[in-house]
Structure 1
Amino acid sequence: MMFLKAKITLIVGGIAFLAFLGLLAFVAIFISDEDGDFDTSMDIGFSDELNNTGLSEDALAHQPTVEKYAKEYDISEHVPILLAIIAVESGGTAEDVMQASESLGLPPNTLDTEASIEQGTKYFAELLQSAEAKELDTETVIQSYNFGGGFIDYVANNGKAYSFDLAESFAKEQANGEKVTYSNPIAVEKNGGWRYSYGNMFYMDLLQPYLTDSSESPSFEDDTFQAVMEEALKYEGFPYVFGGDNPDTSFDCSGLTRWVYQKAGIELPRTAQEQYDATESISLSEAEPGDLVFFHSTYNTANYVTHVGIFVGDNQMYQAGDPIGYADLASSYWQEHLIGAGRIKN
């Protein structure tokens, strides 16, 4: 479910030609032709197999307009990212669906829907060109949509690869260390629920649930895992309900796993302990997308196993927390309670 963190590579013949291409990329960031078109003929190497997942109907309704302007600015391969930005910025319901007004120096929510998509797409194309010139990665470009182009320079001068630590340190500098309370579950999981007052240092984390790279092939049957996650993502943001086992009541942890696997044709027992007993125990290092992840002592009960989630790769799980969504398995809480992974027996 995560991005391939591939470096952006320009392959040229000769040092002089490389310098020439760099100059062209620099100029193209700031200069468009009379029709507003940007030269994006030098692709910066992003996966052309990036797809969306979990988008609402409101967000998907904007796809034709996004495709129109992505074609105009020659970044059609990045339509999934643009739609994910809409999902994060507005859910597809606001007028300024891409929250693009501020990239023009205007007050927030100034643009109407089509103008927002046009400007948001144009701005993203500019960031792509800037990243191309500096040989940066996908995540840097996406985070820069939130932070602004200054983050591209910051990453270029600090290792040339996106990391959350760089996003956090950049936000800290820009905010002069000022923190604000932030109740998003990702922030609660990572640092107790705050962010710096400049931009949103969690922007990459917010987009990731809406994007999947189909060039990555989980060894758990692809069609099955896809069916599991397509069903699971319908309930992202739902509250945790103890004893809940269907969409009408919402879900607890094992109620969610049982429901979504059943929709993919796999029958699981009802409780986390029973699901643990019904799977083949493996270490987390052996886990593959589609395996289950089990935990102990997350609340008081007679059972040893008290919580279960779906392993989705890159040390992440999808689970019925409060609310339902993704969680980082590297956090101290989950590490303290981790039992291991379980593979569903054929």
Structure 2
Amino acid sequence: YTETKGKTDDVMQSSESSTGVTNSITDRKESIRQGVTVLSENLEEAVHHKVDPWTAVQAYNFGKAYIDYVADNGGVNTVELANAYSKDVVAPSLGNTSGKTYTYYQPVAMYYGGGKLYTNGGNIYYAKEVQFNLFLMRMFSRL
């Protein structure tokens, strides 16, 4: 739900982890299979590195190397740590060496950091968005 709200065939936006190309998966079942595989691998790595499970969720957005980064920097995913990783690792690796930012107008992002994201830096609020969506799903499933 956090990725696409179910509005595309690559519902879990898992193409890049499979083929390296965005939107190359055009089958919903394949997208879910690939996305669950990546998340499962991330969770196993999180256990191995003794970091919190939300690090594995954030690594779904940033890539598995984020798990090592968190392990070396306190062992717990935070927006502040994700921001530093985005600024210092992800954005520069994808061409943003100037620190250019933009505003991401999403409620969770606005609450946790004013919505600032680094261009080409991934989504530092990703794990928080998943937490919020999980809360909403639990709340509405009880109605």
Whether TM exceeds 0.5 here: the answer is yes
> What is the SS of the residue equivalent to 2:102?
strand
User: How far has the Cα of 1:189 moved from its partner?
Assistant: 3.0
Q: Kindly indicate whether residue 88 of structure 2 is the aligned counterpart of residue 178 of structure 1.
A: no
Equivalent in the alignment of 1:102: 16
Q: Which amino acid aligns with 1:191?
A: G
Change (3 A) 1:147 1:209: same
Separation of aligned partners in 2, 1:179 and 1:107: 24
Do the aligned partners of 2:54 and 2:77 also contact (CA within 8 Å) in 1? yes
Q: 1:145 aligns with which of 36, 40, 60?
A: 60
Q: Kindly indicate whether residue 115 of structure 2 is the aligned counterpart of residue 193 of structure 1.
A: yes
When the two structures are superposed, what TM-score results if normalisation uses the length of structure 2? 0.82
Do the aligned partners of 1:99 and 1:116 also contact (CA within 8 Å) in 2? yes
Instruction: Please identify runs of 4+ aligned residues in structure 1 that moved more than 6 A.
Output: none
Q: Which amino acid aligns with 1:206?
A: E
Task: State percent identity of aligned pairs.
Answer: 38
Separation of aligned partners in 1, 2:74 and 2:20: 33
Do the aligned partners of 2:46 and 2:52 also contact (CA within 8 Å) in 1? yes
| Higher share of residues assigned helix | 2
| Higher share of residues assigned strand | 1
What 5-or-longer segments of structure 1 have no aligned partner? 1-86, 213-225, 232-263, 265-346
Q: Kindly indicate whether residue 14 of structure 2 is the aligned counterpart of residue 90 of structure 1.
A: no
Do the aligned partners of 2:79 and 2:112 also contact (CA within 8 Å) in 1? no
Q: Which amino acid aligns with 1:193?
A: G
Equivalent in the alignment of 2:129: 206
User: How far has the Cα of 1:163 moved from its partner?
Assistant: 1.3
Do the aligned partners of 1:187 and 1:202 also contact (CA within 8 Å) in 2? yes
When the two structures are superposed, what TM-score results if normalisation uses the length of structure 1? 0.36
> What is the SS of the residue equivalent to 1:115?
helix
Separation of aligned partners in 1, 2:133 and 2:110: 20
Equivalent in the alignment of 1:130: 45
Q: Kindly indicate whether residue 143 of structure 2 is the aligned counterpart of residue 230 of structure 1.
A: no
Do the aligned partners of 1:172 and 1:178 also contact (CA within 8 Å) in 2? no
User: How far has the Cα of 1:191 moved from its partner?
Assistant: 3.3
1:1-346 alignment to 2 at 5 Å? 87-111=1-25, 112-173=27-88, 174-176=90-92, 177-197=99-119, 198-212=121-135, 229-230=139-140
What 5-or-longer segments of structure 2 have no aligned partner? 93-98
Separation of aligned partners in 2, 1:193 and 1:141: 22
Structure possessing the higher radius of gyration over alpha carbons: 1
